[in-house]
Structure 1
Amino acid sequence: MTTGSSAAPSIEDRWLRLEPTKIGWLGMEWARFEREIRMAFDEGIERGVLDRRYEFLFEDDAGLPQGTAKGGVDAFHRLVDAGCLAVVGANYTDSAIALTEHANAAQVPLVSMCGTDQFHGEYCFRMGNGDVGGDPALMVNWLKRNGHRRVAVVLPWSPISEEYVRFFHQECRRLGISIAAIEKITNATTTDQLAEKFAVLRDANADALVWLGYGGLVVSGAVRAALENIDWDPPRIMTTAFMQYIWGFEQLEGWVGIDQWCPENPRMHRFHERFVARYGEDPWMWPNAIPGLAYDMAAAVVEALHRAPVLTGPGVKVGLERIRFMPAVTGGPNTHIAGGPHDHQLFKGDWLHFGRVRDGKLEFEGLFTPSDDY
């Protein structure tokens, strides 16, 4: 009796026999940015950074503010129960806050672009599309450098209003900026009501206007209409709500704001070139920081998988904490990604900077420049 022999399995066969690594994506926005995140993972395979296949699982319902906290929690646990080693998303502040305790209890890293300090813990990682402390620090820096010493503040209510106000007051106290008046609003504030509040702020003899919160009323056109109604055109600056210029440059005419799309970052341009070469068209929302931010978030997970001592949730957490000086597409030319055991704010360097809308176009207003007070 003769015994047949079979050839040893090829590298490709062994690759296909490995179970894929599952990564969860939480939030309806990922349907728009699936090409960016797949590009990061495919490039990881092409570069030999990933040594096994990947599988993406998507859940549209991240919870608040569009849905309910329970909806987001349930969706997160479905991804965890399906075997995801990390979940990326819950990008709205509201949804991230609601999921904080669940990510920490499940011991599965949750990587979010939220900006709140309320999202923290062993398994909570931030790659912020803004920052509740960083935005006010840069805004007050800009005010100081441009000679504005007495400012009026519009405070849209949100779950992070108190954080914004606390940091803004702190930076104003530090740099000697006086707050002439504050007017609080909600998303239900009408254009006429907004005009009345702007009139109060104008009459407080402030030399600049500050928008300290979300930007729904800016994008809707209500803010521009209200300012025009009272014929007020002050120097003005806003938080990273500014990045909603993509929905209408004309609505943000005259505003300076905190941005993350920097023409001086060569990696953003190379990302764009690779994307167009791969897919034959610009990313959705281009030019804007969000496509590059989606890519950076995915690329950070790729690097975390590479560095993970074991492919478990706790292992990927360690992998994220072991990233150092990873070049970023988002932000200025010195932006990089790095973590640590107690350092889960992953963007470092000049990841926030200034933009301006003038004559219906986006202009680069510059990187952070320290004032003489530091």
Structure 2
Amino acid sequence: MPESVKVGVLNDMADFSDLDDNTPIPGDVTGWLEREIAVLRDAGRFPAEVEFIHAYGLGLPSGTAEAVETAYRQLADAGVSLIVGPAIGDNALVATPLAEQLRIPTINWAGAERARGRYMFHHQVGSHEDESLVIARHMAMLGCRRLAIAYDISPIGTRHLKYLESEARILGIEIVAKEGMSPLADDAAALVDALLEGAPDGVVYLGLGVSAPAVAKALSACAWPGPNIMNTAGLRGYHGTFAHDCDGWFYIDMHSDTNTTLQAQMSQLGAPRQQALAVAKGHDLGRLVAEGLARATDLSREGVRIGLEQVKWLPAAEGCEGTLLGFGIQDRGALHGRYLVVRQWLDGETREVTA
């Protein structure tokens, strides 16, 4: 009888109490984990049975940090050897000290570079630190020298702002206005008026993205003619009306049309172009989990931590061609290389921007 292991999936984007048995759960990555584990099982590399344990805690900004902590401890009490999640940077920061305290290897798929540690591994779905540099350099390439910034008053927004301001100074870009807002704001008219008083030649939004359409609509109402860019908040364009609300905006994405690993996965799945991001992200996260388990010295928490450290130099489906996936003894960032891609929403479609 092969050994078995429990893997916890922490979902910080859904309030499970409001969902019935027939409702798809937002942010559930279990299917991707199962898919990549099955690949290794078929190859004879991982015969153990995997039991997935789910915990739900609606985290920040709509929920609370306490809900995330409760969900994390629920998985710990269930005896899991690995936890996958959270997905939002603010909540990954909440979970990191718990991973260290309870010594449970955990892979968060958020943007918080600070959410790393001996037991907290980080699959970067964006980066509060790296994205801001890419944004500043792209705006400089467009000829912008005077930027106005709208940012969420949250760990995500303020962290992005710090790194954008630092890179702007290096590039000789002046920040002529910056205005903070609630991450849940639905009206940004007064904020945009204040931003435009600085006579910028480019506008930046930094945050989780819930408030981004309000900024975009207010700029459109003012007939603002200049370029706009946002961080990976723009990934919300894959759902609902966000892409149309933010039409014309540049944003940071995680997938490139040039990535052959991604194209191979898309072909295998018969997936349409609109699902490229989901496929890239799901494949890479699933592969990290599957390879970490397969390379573990044993399926205890310590064994899985060591196994994750042995995952190295795998071709990533995310990022530009040549991006690599893996960890190391003191390396907790999964993606290496040009994993951030500038794209633009135009007429509801995402288009890659080349330099």
- After TM superposition, the score normalised by the length of structure 2 is 0.89
Between the aligned partners of 2:132 and 2:78, the Cα distance in structure 1 is: 40
Contact 1:26-1:62 within 8 A present in 2 as well: no
Q: Who is 1:203 aligned against?
A: 197
Q: Who is 2:219 aligned against?
A: 227
Q: CA RMSD in A?
A: 2.1
Tell me by how many angstroms 1:162 deviates.
2.7
Contact 2:262-2:276 within 8 A present in 1 as well: no
Q: Percent identity?
A: 26
Q: Could you tell me which amino acid in structure 1 is paired with residue 3 of structure 2? A: E
Q: Does 1:75 align with 2:71?
A: yes
SS of the equivalent of 2:257 reads coil
Q: Who is 2:237 aligned against?
A: 245
Residue range with higher mean Cα deviation, 55-64 or 351-360:
55-64
Unaligned runs of 5+ in 1: 1-16, 277-281, 370-374
Q: Who is 2:17 aligned against?
A: none
Q: Does 1:142 align with 2:134?
A: no
Q: Who is 1:36 aligned against?
A: 32
Shift in alpha-carbon separation, 1:81–1:232, aligned structure 2, 3 A: same
Residue range with higher mean Cα deviation, 67-76 or 334-343:
67-76
Unaligned runs of 5+ in 2: 15-24
Q: Who is 1:299 aligned against?
A: 287
Contact 2:57-2:71 within 8 A present in 1 as well: yes
Q: Who is 1:270 aligned against?
A: 264
Q: Could you tell me which amino acid in structure 2 is paired with residue 213 of structure 1? A: G
Shift in alpha-carbon separation, 1:257–1:188, aligned structure 2, 3 A: closer
Between the aligned partners of 1:340 and 1:66, the Cα distance in structure 2 is: 34
Tell me by how many angstroms 1:31 deviates.
6.6
Contact 2:61-2:184 within 8 A present in 1 as well: no
SS of the equivalent of 1:287 reads helix
Q: Does 1:126 align with 2:122?
A: yes
Between the aligned partners of 1:200 and 1:95, the Cα distance in structure 2 is: 31
Q: Who is 1:342 aligned against?
A: 330
Between the aligned partners of 1:230 and 1:351, the Cα distance in structure 2 is: 34
After superposition, the C-alpha distances for 1:194-234 in whole angstroms (9 at most, x for unaligned) are: 2232223223121111112221123xx42332122212132
Larger-gyration structure (1/2): 1
Between the aligned partners of 2:43 and 2:51, the Cα distance in structure 1 is: 18
Between the aligned partners of 2:203 and 2:184, the Cα distance in structure 1 is: 21
Between the aligned partners of 1:286 and 1:60, the Cα distance in structure 2 is: 27
1:321 to 303, 309, 315: 309
Shift in alpha-carbon separation, 1:67–1:186, aligned structure 2, 3 A: closer
Tell me by how many angstroms 1:34 deviates.
3.1
How many positions carry a matched residue from both structures? 341
Tell me by how many angstroms 1:160 deviates.
2.4
Contact 2:6-2:50 within 8 A present in 1 as well: yes
Residue range with higher mean Cα deviation, 180-189 or 117-126:
180-189
Residue range with higher mean Cα deviation, 29-38 or 357-366:
29-38
SS of the equivalent of 1:197 reads helix
Q: Who is 2:207 aligned against?
A: 213
Contact 1:243-1:288 within 8 A present in 2 as well: no
Q: Does 1:258 align with 2:221?
A: no
